[in-house]
Chains A and B, each alone.
Chain A
């Protein structure tokens, strides 16, 4: 090893010594102050132990000797045999000072007063139950420690060793018979007979025979058992001790006999030296032998690369035609025999286990996160702007996105499967309510994630029932109102700015606002004579506790109200709103994400926490000026915006990150639209940027968190929470945290 490597090793050692000495001192002080945590004693012991270990390697004998005595006493404390109280801890603290001085002397030169060391050693020795015979110990230790001197870290060159070798006469060859029968325990500790035999073979010439006589019938074989034994004839110049040394680690885990067949064993010392030389010579050979492995690895890789191209062939097909779930794809093995005859012209499909698609989806999620991490790291390293990296990153990002869309397309299905169930429902409800209803559907081919579709069926069913039962008038009333006897319910789906929008429209009487108000007042949901806009009145029907079985008929009743519809839509990351014109009908609009896997969000900072606010809820961001903020009773504040006063919601306070409202002038406000189009301004501390994030469920391993929709993993690898805008706004309206909203629902 080069001198500078040695120097840097020394430097590391002394740096570490300083750390350990600090640890030692603070630990001892903690013990002195009554600290009883066993981990403190352990840390103190380890500090001295570490210093001793390193010092041994650098042959710092004086340091090793003192550390050893110190360590022995600390071990007594660690094992609970010595109470580190009063006088004891004082001795330990004094010893720590001596140790520190010894370390510094070893580093900077000079000497420590021999008397101090002697007193210190004796003081320590008197503490440990077994008096420490310092002289003997020092002897023993230094012999052991000198085994590794700094110079020896390097492998001496062959020439160096050869030069030091005394010229020897032709060595004597000995013959040994070795019998070796492993016990099961030998395998349990990951020892390997083949490796041991190969090691044995390095000593000389050998012939091996394997005894398989104790191998039982296949059915009786214990996979963890041991049935083989070996007999080896070995011709070597090595001593019996060297032969035995091969089996050092398996002593007790095997039956081993070594018999010398001729002459006396060679002198041990010589053989040791030679064994050392041999091992040095053979070490590089060993590494060279291992160089065969790449050939195997390459062969394996070559195999993989033959099959790999099939995969990209299939995926772009999905990506290219995301509108059709029945994308064409090359015939796949999985499909063989399924559709082979008709397959030529018709669009082909394959059935894939949903688990596989989900696994792929998860992997793509990981890919997106990894890509974000990579960009972030390159950015931090100042490389992101260099042309090659920038182009590479852009391409990577584009590819990642394409793959993601491709995988999502696999999961996408037309809403037709849900829409198809509605005609029958309409007939049943129409019959039960004695109404005449015509159902019109539009946009059945609109695609959305399979999970979204599955979870859409219930709320949709409920809303259609509601539209017929409450929305449409009785036939006679319709005729009286000059309408067609037959009512119209229109169900339509379309894609709009990255979301799927589903409208359920009826041409009925519209929301009966006075009645809705009356119910809400009666149930204490709003104060009597509250000032409400038409919109706000319409939205009262979504309040928990608004609809109950007593106020609505059996058909739409069934114990669930519109609040449940709303919450199941929200659980999908969706929104529901209503528009109504008296006499002309009502339209319920559901807006849902196309997938539950990703969303575009604004990454913000709130009270040192990083949060993500879904971009779909944000209308604009603004920097509040002090003059725009007005108190509004209690802690409530509003912000003036274009002749309008908008409630200001302090996100940090709402989520319980801080107890008091923050200064709006120091933050940024996000203008958001929540339920029913009401606007609020979310106050956050700062904006980090916008990005696509992969949605991770919190409910899978934890549960619902009030005010939080889900979680995601950002480029730095940490988890960030995705804000549930509606819940946070609703929470602030209720003057408490969002839990109170849930409490109402319960």
Chain B
């Protein structure tokens, strides 16, 4: 597709958002497709010393060092097991590229702002910190995650 047609397509659908849906444990989540760079299978990660429990380690993504966040742990579920069956969603926020470990990826949803419900006012930390909206689709409930919030807090920024 040419640049111009891409731009055209974009402007045409500016009111709609595209979201990638995926499963973590028994729940379904989605994130904005614009943040997603690619999707790939799990490969064993190199453990980072003294890292947060949700940081699985780093893997080689075509020559770049990609940190992997275990989204299950990040969202307060038990850690993921059986790694071969898992999926890494590579997301980019600003200049930072991070892999999110999830159970399975499913479809790409096109939604309009009016379909997105505000997150409920429940006490769970997950809802407060990470979920920025809810989506009801064919009897499914999907939580929309704000990608920025699930990324690790950058460490060592005090050093020049």
Contact = CB atoms under 8 A, between A and B. Distances in A.
Interface of A: 36-39, 222-224, 362, 365-366, 369, 564, 567-568, 571, 609-610, 655-657, 696-708, 711, 713, 717-721, 737-739, 742, 745-746
Contacts of A718: 44, 46, 59-60
B63 A705 contact: no
15 contacts: A37-B26, A39-B23, A39-B104, A224-B9, A567-B159, A696-B64, A697-B65, A701-B65, A702-B152, A703-B157, A704-B155, A705-B50, A713-B63, A719-B45, A737-B49
Nearest to B99: A701
Given A224-B5, A719-B58, A656 B96 contact: no
A568 B160 contact: yes
A739 B155 CA distance: 11
B51 interface: yes
B98 interface: yes
Given A39-B85, A719-B59, A742-B156, A705 B49 contact: yes
A223 B158 contact: no
Interface string B1-45: 110110011000000000000010110000000000000000011
Nearest to B158: A746
A223 B5 CA distance: 6
Nearest to B98: A701
Interface of B: 1-2, 4-5, 8-9, 23, 25-26, 44-51, 55, 57-60, 63-67, 85, 95-98, 103-104, 152-160
Given A362-B63, A719-B59, A708 B49 contact: yes
A439 to B, nearest CB: 26
Contacts, number: 121
Contacts of B45: 719
Contacts of A223: 1-2, 4-5, 8
A721 B85 CA distance: 26
A746 B158 CA distance: 8
Given A37-B26, A571-B160, A719 B97 contact: no
B152 A720 contact: no
A621 to B, nearest CB: 22
Given A571-B159, A719-B58, A222 B8 contact: yes
A13 B104 CA distance: 26
Nearest to B67: A702
A737 B50 contact: yes
B50 A699 contact: no
Max chain A Cβ within 10 angstroms of own Cβ: one of B8, B49, B64: B49
A698 B65 contact: yes
B64 A701 contact: yes
Contacts of A700: 64-65, 95-97
Nearest to A694: B63
Contacts of B158: 742, 745-746
Contact of B152 (A568, A703, A706): A703
A38 B58 contact: no
B155 A705 contact: yes
A739 B59 CA distance: 23
Task: Rank and list the top 8 A-B pairs by shortest CB-CB distance, nearest first.
Answer: A704-B156, A223-B5, A703-B155, A655-B49, A702-B67, A719-B46, A703-B154, A696-B65
Contacts of B51: 705
Contacts of B4: 223
Contacts of B65: 696-698, 700-702, 711, 713, 719
Contacts of A713: 60, 63, 65
Contacts of A704: 155-157, 159
A738 to B, nearest CB: 8
Contact of B48 (A366, A696, A708, A739): A708
A500 B15 CA distance: 57
A220 B123 CA distance: 53
Contacts of A721: 46, 48-49
A574 to B, nearest CB: 14
B28 to A, nearest CB: 10
A38 B23 contact: yes
A658 to B, nearest CB: 11
A618 B65 CA distance: 26
Given A571-B160, A718-B44, A706 B50 contact: yes
Contacts of B55: 702
Contact of A717 (B1, B9, B60): B60
A657 B26 CA distance: 31
